[in-house]
Amino acid sequence: MQVTLDSFALKSFTKSLNCLSRYGEELTIYATPETFSLSATNLSKSAYCRFKYEKQFFSKYVLNEQKSTGTEWGLDEAISVTGQMLIKPLLSILKHRTVEKTVEKCEMSIIEGNLRMEDGSPVEDNLVVRLYCKHGVVKTHRLLLLTPTSLMAPGVPDAYNESNLTIGPKAVKDMIEHFPLARGVKSDPQLIWSFGESEVELRSLESSIDSKGKAQLITELTISAEEFDVYNVYASPTTIAFHLREFNATIAFAESMSLSLNIRFTDPSAPLFIDVEGDSLEALFVISTSQVHGAVTGAPSQYYQPLANKKRERDETPVDQNRVKKPTKVAQRINKLESLPQSTQVVRPTPVVQRTESDMTMPPPSFIPPAILPHNPFQEPLFWPSSSQLSAANGVAFQGTGLGLEYMDADELANMLEGEGEEVAYDFSAMVVLPVNPHRSYVRRANFRVLSKSEPTCTTT
């Protein structure tokens, strides 16, 4: 595969990468003869974003034809190239100050390692970035490209109860600016949005990760719905809550490109979809929402299930009406490529769901492996309202522990933490990694509050 970008297109491309880097660490590239997609998913899979460039965006766009093995699927768009890599290195190449000023064109090519090693494992692919700068300077960077280990695909919203809104990035930024964000990387604040008949209300929600200073402040903002260019709420009031980190990244991207945001959502337990469309560019952002307890919802939630036997409700805040459950995943791990024959680098770009009542077209997800298309997506929603998943910030905190916590779901974590047989409220933010011993990492658990009658304990492992 070989693509060439002129300096103008490169700017837009870098902005996309910048946005992707705020969603996740890994970039997935997916190229078909007509489109070139870049996607990223965050650590806890609660946010997904994808930029899809049309062929016209590039000054040159060539895909390796001989790689085509997709004909056996009987598909037109069978030729494709995929790859996965870390975003940061690529971004640091393109975002470099001198590059931004002097580059005239940028050529990216994927050199495929068709050869196989002796043990049968394939030689890694390379992404070669060649920058043609002023004065005849040519910079070549070679980046390792991995085969995607898993394919992420966003779910598709149901059409009938969908609300859609359009708003300019500046207007929404003005709103969010009134909500002070806690300092520090770990903080990932959530906002509760209530879309009413004629007014939109935003409230801040203190999540467990916030630094203690911010719990001191609760902010509310009420604004006329007229601030939205399009305001179709299926059932008002609809209340949804979601994390700001990725949303802010989306706004920043839309603002830098001067494009407006088309926001779609269904009910509080289904994810939020944001479309940003520009010249030869379609960007899709999916952010999982959390359900707000005690919120008035106009429409009955179609996914809502009472969670009677949930083990670890955060019981320490019974007064708080606005308890929010953990966000759900927006992207699902679909399959391991290894389980498919070699030819399955070709994936079938068929839309998962035929949309019934909407005239809006949902862009197909970048990866839908043919083997495991859901038989009936309506019966098996991709998103469960349960809180079995953990938020991004928790995920980051867990990764630091070295206990493999990030691979557990909430129940497993609860089981692990309840090894002493007591039910305790656990404050995730209090988990501190002390890099004292280079060979082991310590996890200090503080802030255990015992909910049963036995006396408080504080354990250190």
Partner 1 sequence: MRFRASIENVPTFFKIMQSIEKLQKKCIIKFTETNMHIICNNDANEGGIQVWSQIKVDSLFVGYRIQSNAANEITMALSSEALLAALKSASPSTSSTYETEEVVMKLAKKNGQAVLTLEINSLTRVGRKVRVSHDVKIEVMRPNDVARLSEPLCPEPDLHILLPPLQKLRTIVERLRPMSDILAVRANNSGCLQLSINTEGVKVDTEWKNCTNPKTQNAEDEDEAPDPEKMFSVLVSIRSFLKFLNSHVVSTTTIACICQNHCMILYVYIGDVADAGGVLTFYIPAIIDDENL
DSSP secondary structure letters along 349-395: ---SS--SS--SPPPPPS---GGG--S-TTTS-S---S--S--HHHH
CA 193 from chain centre, in angstroms, equals 19
Nearest to partner 1 of 226, 409 (CB atom):
226
CB of 242 to partner 1, least distance (A): 20
- CA-to-CA distance for 106 and 132, rounded, in angstroms? 6
With binding defined as CB under 8 A, does residue 252 bind partner 1?
A: no
With binding defined as CB under 8 A, does residue 180 bind partner 1?
A: yes
Contacts to partner 1 from residues 315-334, by CB under 8 A? 319
- CA-to-CA distance for 230 and 226, rounded, in angstroms? 8
Stretch that binds partner 1, among 122-130, 166-174, 240-248, 444-452 (CB under 8 A): 166-174
Stretch that binds partner 1, among 60-68, 89-97, 138-146, 167-175 (CB under 8 A): 167-175
To the nearest 10°, the Cα dihedral for 363, 369, 373, 379? -60
Report the SS3 class of residue 97: helix
Binding partner 1 (rule: CB under 8 A), the pick from 76, 174, 197, 279 is: 174
With binding defined as CB under 8 A, does residue 279 bind partner 1?
A: no
With binding defined as CB under 8 A, does residue 176 bind partner 1?
A: no
Report the SS3 class of residue 24: coil
- CA-to-CA distance for 204 and 320, rounded, in angstroms? 13
CB of 195 to partner 1, least distance (A): 16
CB of 327 to partner 1, least distance (A): 25
- CA-to-CA distance for 23 and 43, rounded, in angstroms? 8
With binding defined as CB under 8 A, does residue 213 bind partner 1?
A: yes
With binding defined as CB under 8 A, does residue 72 bind partner 1?
A: no
CB of 319 to partner 1, least distance (A): 6
**Looking up tokens 């078909």, which residue turns up?**
32
Contacts to partner 1 from residues 345-384, by CB under 8 A? none
With binding defined as CB under 8 A, does residue 229 bind partner 1?
A: no
Angle at 209 between CA 208 and CA 211, to 5 degrees: 105
**Looking up tokens 């209340």, which residue turns up?**
239
CA nearest to 275, candidates 286, 267, 283? 283
Nearest to partner 1 of 181, 353 (CB atom):
181
Stretch that binds partner 1, among 81-89, 169-177, 187-195, 345-353 (CB under 8 A): 169-177
CB of 185 to partner 1, least distance (A): 18
CB of 60 to partner 1, least distance (A): 41
Task: Give all strands of the β-sheet with 272-278 in edge-to-edge order.
Answer: 81-86, 26-31, 35-41, 47-54, 281-287, 272-278, 261-265, 163-167, 230-232
CB of 456 to partner 1, least distance (A): 24
CA distances from residue 275 to 251, 255, 278, 357, 409 in whole angstroms, order as listed: 11, 13, 10, 19, 30
Nearest to partner 1 of 254, 346 (CB atom):
254
Q: Are 312 and 386 in contact (CB under 8 A)?
A: no
CA 422 from chain centre, in angstroms, equals 35
- CA-to-CA distance for 41 and 107, rounded, in angstroms? 25
With binding defined as CB under 8 A, does residue 171 bind partner 1?
A: yes
Nearest to partner 1 of 320, 420 (CB atom):
320
Nearest to partner 1 of 219, 459 (CB atom):
219
With binding defined as CB under 8 A, does residue 308 bind partner 1?
A: no
**Looking up tokens 């949303």, which residue turns up?**
247
DSSP secondary structure letters along 188-204: --EEEEEE-SSEEEEEE
Binding partner 1 (rule: CB under 8 A), the pick from 216, 356, 361, 452 is: 216
Nearest to partner 1 of 29, 254 (CB atom):
254
With binding defined as CB under 8 A, does residue 221 bind partner 1?
A: yes
With binding defined as CB under 8 A, does residue 258 bind partner 1?
A: no
CB of 221 to partner 1, least distance (A): 5
Binding partner 1 (rule: CB under 8 A), the pick from 220, 279, 412, 420 is: 220
- CA-to-CA distance for 232 and 219, rounded, in angstroms? 25
With binding defined as CB under 8 A, does residue 178 bind partner 1?
A: yes
Other beta carbons within 10 Å of 54:
14
Residues making contact with partner 1 (CB under 8 A): 170-171, 174-175, 177-178, 180, 213-224, 226-227, 319
